[in-house]
Structure 1
Amino acid sequence: MEYKFTIPGRLDGLNDYTAANRTNPRKGGRMKKKSEESIIWYIRQQLPGVHITDPVLIYYQFYEKDRRRDNDNILSCAAKFVQDSLKKAWVIKDDGQKYIPHFYFDTNVDKDNPRIEVTITELTQAQAKMSLRELLKDLETG
């Protein structure tokens, strides 16, 4: 089974989060909490009643307004905040490697509609043990 949801706009990057924590640890905590509250709202609106107990593959498609931010800056906080939010919203059982053995991403530009599209694919136990390359091939042919 596959599930999708979209987060309009963009999330703070790792550079923003690091700067906030250097200013004041509470500021970084507030930033994370605010992001998670927003993400959880979108999850609840777009995935009502979804509760996944199997391992999952998460695919992030980032649509940035331009190419100014580095991919690692974009992905680092977004993956952490989204995966924590999925757990807090009870969509996934846990956000550890047992339940999210793989995730990957692409970055695109859409200056008029920046957003993050998140696709969650349920995996079998056998698929959860595959390398990402093997898994993507298996999902493509299966």
Structure 2
Amino acid sequence: MTRHETRVGAYAVCLDGDARMLLCRIGPGNLASGEWTLPGGGLEFGEEPAVGAIRELREETGYEGRITGLLDVASEAIPAADRMRRRIDLHVIFVLFRVEITGGALRDEIDGSTDTAAWVSEAEMAGLRLVPIVEHARRLLGEDRPESAA
């Protein structure tokens, strides 16, 4: 039997009044360094996904937030050969929550996996390297918009 790991991560999908999405750039020393992702990450042992999403939002962006709904649960299998540190197959489960910002102030994470946080417009996203979960969230949000119902 092949050895593998499973990791569950919780992510905050936040839009502002101008329809910009809150994203974080993955910092140096990480496999996807320079790519942009949603605020979020792995759950701590025993942590509820909604609690983890808000904790990660706070750690990576400085914002406080409130869960307004579950957007999706998705997964990705990452072969051992594609991993930087641990050479074991990884199954990642992503829990995506819609989150409303309720307080705090935008700031960059210090000594974490991301190095920059920013509100990013659709036009600006075209020039960025986005991790697949961001594209997935964008598709889901597009499906929820009335104009896409035609």
The structure whose RCO (Cα within 8 Å, separation 6+) is larger is 1
More strand by share: 2
Give the TM-score, by structure 1 length.
0.29
More helix by share: 1
